[in-house]
């Protein structure tokens, strides 16, 4: 339960930031503290800066009332009689104040990145000096260095995350709420700080969400990043769970800023760009490039942060044997998401240019072409995780610990057998982006035969003693599901990008038959066509209201006049052949398009005879020949 005092602190943080933000916005506009649109920035209008002042006050003022600054003073300047446990509220307040000052100066005069980094390292060193560490390693030297990297890294991650309206404040609020849930059972002070951060960020989000009327600037993002970084590593101070939980819980809660920073840094460096140089290549920008709106992209990242944060809280309360059931799916999904997003073209030059033209380039091409090596690695994870999860679902409590020995000794056998079956049945011979119905049946057959051979192998090696038939049935279902799910996600990702990035003249397709479906596929796969279908028309009343390839059949052709203004239609594409039976429909389409001043094109597929006596083959049809799109 949240105590009344904790609730008052959270509400106070919310109220302070909510009240101060409009005052800061008014002052910023009056003094000219504004961000103007730039080519390498996302915003498109002049927007007030210095919103970080309100965020800092919303966090700092409540911290003053709960921080034990005397113990911190004794630790820093005393004679060694400081208490063993220092006030984390006082540590966060002092560090946040220092970074607020650095960020504020940077917002006014643009400090060089390396100077700003030095300031961050000094503040992080102060945190480590007073005794706060991640406690990931038994080596104090290694743990100290990793803690420094963690604090500075997370601080900068939130700074980089401030690239779209509401993103940094919203992700920080979600992470702070996850930390509040994490500490609710252990530490009242940490719970209060988490809710204070969430309250201040939530209040600022009201003004900062799309369309933003004020930006936080570095004086806000650095404060938020530092406060959450220190609060997240504090988990190691009281964690009584496994080493696995100690390491993964902070990472899960910080998943969104870590994903964005890692993706941006790696791609920039591999593309020959400076990691510190700003740009429109962040995770949020890539989601918009996929077709998301700005709001939906930000909300999508909020959702990822919430799911991974909940996963972190679950792992903190679970044992080592249960935690992988949550950790592996979340990390796998994030890795796949990073792979998907990295394929989007953002830079004008060739991306990954650093890797091009090198001696090892052919090796990289061989490893990545068709993604087969990556698929083998992915399937290795799928087989191991499915087998583990099958045991986890089949057995519970003490039973699982007993049968876990059987799992461990048989896992190498299961992995080897299944990957061999996958190889010989032809799973890796296809293209992952072109999965079709025959491929689905292939995956099902392969998974079935792999399970049968696995049972046979276990029987031969271990006489099937201490094994369960139910485990292999569950494993078959899970393996098949994950195989189809991962392959299907590859195609879904490609299809989503194609549909959401369609640009060009808005057209309606006349004819909702096989030709209409082929025409839609051609438009989706051939960007040179530059047309955006809004739907289809068909004179068959049974088809109206249904969909083809996700596009609605809007009505009959005689209803076109009513649809032109509603869907801003610029032209009509005829998808059926102009044979004798369809001549009347052709003539009607030509008449309507003349009256409404719409362009009309006819789609067809043609096989050309090739003169074997010619020296060259011309694939460009003459004016008298049928073409793919024929103007009418």
Contacts with 556 (C-beta within 8 Å, 6 or more apart), sequence order: 537, 538, 539, 541, 544
Asked if residue 339 and residue 487 are part of one domain, the reply reads no
Query: Half-sphere exposure of residue 206, counting CA atoms within 13 Å on the CB side?
Result: 17
C-alpha 587, offset from chain centre: 50
Amino acid 110: pLDDT? 84
Q: What is the CATH number of the domain that holds 608?
A: 3.40.50.720
Domain end marker among 449, 480, 498? 498
Q: What is the mean pLDDT of residues 464-472?
A: 91
Helix (H, G, I), strand (E, B) or coil at 254: coil
How sure is the predictor about 41, in pLDDT bands with cuts at 50, 70 and 90? low
pLDDT at 201: 96
d(CA 544, CA 369): 43
The strands making up 531-537's β-sheet, listed across from edge to edge, are 547-548, 551-555, 531-537, 505-510, 571-574, 599-603, 629-631
- Given a cut of 70, whether residue 626 has pLDDT beyond it is no
Please say which residue of 312, 334, 353 terminates a domain. 353
Residues 305 and 404 in one domain: no
Q: Tell me which residue range forms the domain holding 224.
A: 4-353
Rank 64-68, 171-175, 421-425 by mean pLDDT and report only the highest: 171-175
Average pLDDT over residues 173-185: 93
Whether residues 214 and 285 share a domain: the answer is yes
This model's pTM is above 0.85:
no
State the average pLDDT over residues 144-154: 95
In which band, very low, low, confident or very high, does the pLDDT at 507 lie, cut at 50, 70 and 90?
Answer: very high
Most confidently modeled range among 258-262, 600-604, 611-615, 617-621: 258-262
Residues of the chain with pLDDT > 90: what percent? 47
Kindly tell me the sign of the dihedral angle through the C-alpha atoms of 236, 241, 242, 245: negative
* Highest mean pLDDT, choosing among 36-45, 68-77, 477-486: 477-486
Residue 527 pLDDT grade (very low, low, confident, very high; cuts 50, 70, 90): confident
Angle 373-325-167 from CA coordinates, rounded to 5° = 80
Clarify whether residues 523 and 607 are in a common domain: yes
In this structure, the answer to whether residues 176 and 304 fall within a common structural domain is yes
In the three-class reduction of DSSP (H, G, I as helix; E, B as strand; rest coil), residue 318 is classed as: coil
Least confident of 349-353, 470-474, 541-545: 349-353
Does residue 353 have a pLDDT over 70? no
Please spell the DSSP secondary structure of 77-137, one letter per residue.
HSSS---SS--HHHHHHHHHHHHHHHHHHHHHH---HHHHHHHHHHHHHHHHHTT------
204 contacts 162 by C-beta, under 8 angstroms? no
Q: Which residue has the tokens 């990289």?
A: 364
Check whether residue 441 and residue 471 sit in a common domain: yes
Return the structure tokens found at 294.
């700005």
Q: Is the pLDDT of residue 615 over 90?
A: no
Tell me what the pLDDT averaged over the chain comes to: 85
Average pLDDT over residues 217-233: 94
**Domain check: are 156 and 218 in the same one?**
yes
Burial class (CB in 10 A: 0-12, 13-18, 19+), 494: middle
- 624, exposed or middle or buried, with CB in 10 Å at 0-12, 13-18, 19+? exposed
Token pair of 414 as six digits: 């299961």
Do 54 and 127 reside in the same domain of the chain?
A: yes
Q: How far is CA 241 from the centre of its chain?
A: 29
Burial class (CB in 10 A: 0-12, 13-18, 19+), 483: buried
Q: Provide φ and ψ at 605, rounded to 5°.
A: -115, 135
CA distance 316 to 242: 9
Claim to verify: residue 286 and residue 410 sit in the same structural domain: no
Q: 3-state DSSP call for residue 554?
A: strand
> Domain boundary residue among 353, 382, 413?
353
**Looking at residues 218-228, what average pLDDT do you find?**
95
Tokens of 592: 């309507």
Provide the percentage of residues in the chain whose pLDDT is more than 70. 88
Domain count, the chain: 3
**Residues 508 and 460 reside in one and the same domain:** no
Residues 372, 311 within the same domain: no
Look at residue 627 and tell me whether its pLDDT is greater than 50.
no
Is the model's pLDDT at 533 over the cut of 80? Answer: yes
What's the rounded mean pLDDT across residues 216-245? 85
- Is residue 417 located within the same domain as residue 534? no
Which letter does DSSP use for residue 370 in this model? G
């Amino acid at each position: 339960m949240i105590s009344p005092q904790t609730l008052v602190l959270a509400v106070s943080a919310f109220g302070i930031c909510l009240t101060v933000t409009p005052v800061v916005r008014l002052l910023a506009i009056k003094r000219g503290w504004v961000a103007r649109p730039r080519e390498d920035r996302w915003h498109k209008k002049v927007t007030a800066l210095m919103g970080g002042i309100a965020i800092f006050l919303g966090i700092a003022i409540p911290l003053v009332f709960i921080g034990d600054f005397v113990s911190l003073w004794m630790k820093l300047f005393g004679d060694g009689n400081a208490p063993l446990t220092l006030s984390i509220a006082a540590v966060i307040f002092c560090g946040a104040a220092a970074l607020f000052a650095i960020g504020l100066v940077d917002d006014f005069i643009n400090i060089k990145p390396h100077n700003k980094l030095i300031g961050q390292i000094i503040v992080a060193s102060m945190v480590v000096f007073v005794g706060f560490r991640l406690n990931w390693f038994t080596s104090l030297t290694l743990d100290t260095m990793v803690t420094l990297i963690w604090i500075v890294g997370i601080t900068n991650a939130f700074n980089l995350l401030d690239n779209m309206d509401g993103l940094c404040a919203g992700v920080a609020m979600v992470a702070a709420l996850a930390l509040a849930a994490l500490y609710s059972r252990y530490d009242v002070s940490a719970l209060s700080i988490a809710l204070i951060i969430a309250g201040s960020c939530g209040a600022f989000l009201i003004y900062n969400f799309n369309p933003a009327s004020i930006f936080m600037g570095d004086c806000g993002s650095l404060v938020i990043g530092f406060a959450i970084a220190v609060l997240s590593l504090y988990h190691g101070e009281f964690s009584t769970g496994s080493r696995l939980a100690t390491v993964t819980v902070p990472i899960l809660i910080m998943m969104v800023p870590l994903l964005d920073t890692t993706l941006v840094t790696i791609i920039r460096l591999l593309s020959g760009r400076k990691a510190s140089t700003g740009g429109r290549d962040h995770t949020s920008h890539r989601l918009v490039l996929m077709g998301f709106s700005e709001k939906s992209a930000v909300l999508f990242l909020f959702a990822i942060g919430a799911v991974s944060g909940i996963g972190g809280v679950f792992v903190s309360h679970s044992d080592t044997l249960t935690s992988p059931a949550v950790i592996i799916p979340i990390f796998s999904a994030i890795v796949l998401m990073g792979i998907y997003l990295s394929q989007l073209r953002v830079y004008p030059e060739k991306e990954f240019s650093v890797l091009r033209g090198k001696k090892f380039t052919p090796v990289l091409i061989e490893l990545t072409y068709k993604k087969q090596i990556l698929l083998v690695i992915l399937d290795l994870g799928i087989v191991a995780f499915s087998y583990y999860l099958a045991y986890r679902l089949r057995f519970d409590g003490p039973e699982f610990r007993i049968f876990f020995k059987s799992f461990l000794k048989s896992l190498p056998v299961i992995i080897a057998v299944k990957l061999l079956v996958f190889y010989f049945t032809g799973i890796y011979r296809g293209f992952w982006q072109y999965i079709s119905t025959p491929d689905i049946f292939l995956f099902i057959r392969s998974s079935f035969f792999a399970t049968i051979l696995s049972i046979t192998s276990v029987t031969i090696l271990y006489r099937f003693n201490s094994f369960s038939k139910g485990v292999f049935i569950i494993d078959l279902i899970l393996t098949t599901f994950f195989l189809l799910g991962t392959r299907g996600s590859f195609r879904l990702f490609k299809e989503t990008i194609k549909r959401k990035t369609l640009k060009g003249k808005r057209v309606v397709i006349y004819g909702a038959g096989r030709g209409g479906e082929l025409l839609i596929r051609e438009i989706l796969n051939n960007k040179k066509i530059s047309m955006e279908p809004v739907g289809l028309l068909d004179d068959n009343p049974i088809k109206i209201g249904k969909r083809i390839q996700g596009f609605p059949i809007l009505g009959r052709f005689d209803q076109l006049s009513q649809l032109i203004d509603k869907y801003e239609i610029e032209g009509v594409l005829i998808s059926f052949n102009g044979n004798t039976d369809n001549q009347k429909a052709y003539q009607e389409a030509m008449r309507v398009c003349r009256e409404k001043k719409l362009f009309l094109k006819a789609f067809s597929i043609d096989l050309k005879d090739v003169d074997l006596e010619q020296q060259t083959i011309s694939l460009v049809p003459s004016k008298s020949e049928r073409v793919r799109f024929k103007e009418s």
